[in-house]
């Protein structure tokens, strides 16, 4: 059985705050799902931890069940440079870890997926 990893940072799935930990809101200036630097630092730390756990389960490297990684969920598209910076940061963080499987987003009407298709030559 194959596995698609959907670790967030935004999960939605009817979780409170989309699955974000409440401690992120200790920062009164926090802007979730954005290029706000403290948010991106928290996401990077989280992603690198998750990726260190799943690396041994990648299909192409080790014959494991993990065939894909969802970067974002229902983000809604790339509307400006800040959105592009945020999604590029997510992609780059995953790639920096050495993860080699498919990267995708889940968006209505293509949304951020079109952004990823536009940069897939970098995968």
Work out the angle at residue 60's Cα, subtended by the Cα atoms of residues 83 and 4, and round it to the nearest 5 degrees: 50
What is the rounded CA–CA span in Å between residue 111 and residue 122? Answer: 19
15-65 residue pLDDT tens:
788 889 999 999 999 999 999 999 999 999 999 999 999 999 999 999 999
If one counts every other C-beta atom within 10 angstroms of the C-beta of residue 9, the result is 22
Beta bridge partners of 110: none
In DSSP notation, 7-20 reads --S---TT-GGGG-
pTM check: above 0.85: no
């Amino acid at each position: 059985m194959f596995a698609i990893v959907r670790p967030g940072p935004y999960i939605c799935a009817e979780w409170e705050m989309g699955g974000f930990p409440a401690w992120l809101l200790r920062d009164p200036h926090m802007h979730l799902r954005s290029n706000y630097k403290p948010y991106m630092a928290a996401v990077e730390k989280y992603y690198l931890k998750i990726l260190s756990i799943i690396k041994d389960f990648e299909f192409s490297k080790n014959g494991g069940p993990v065939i894909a990684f969802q970067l974002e969920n229902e983000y809604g598209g790339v509307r400006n440079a800040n959105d592009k910076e945020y999604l590029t940061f997510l992609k780059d963080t995953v790639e920096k870890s050495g993860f080699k499987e498919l990267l995708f987003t889940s968006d209505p009407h293509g949304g951020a997926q079109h952004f990823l298709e536009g940069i897939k030559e970098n995968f």
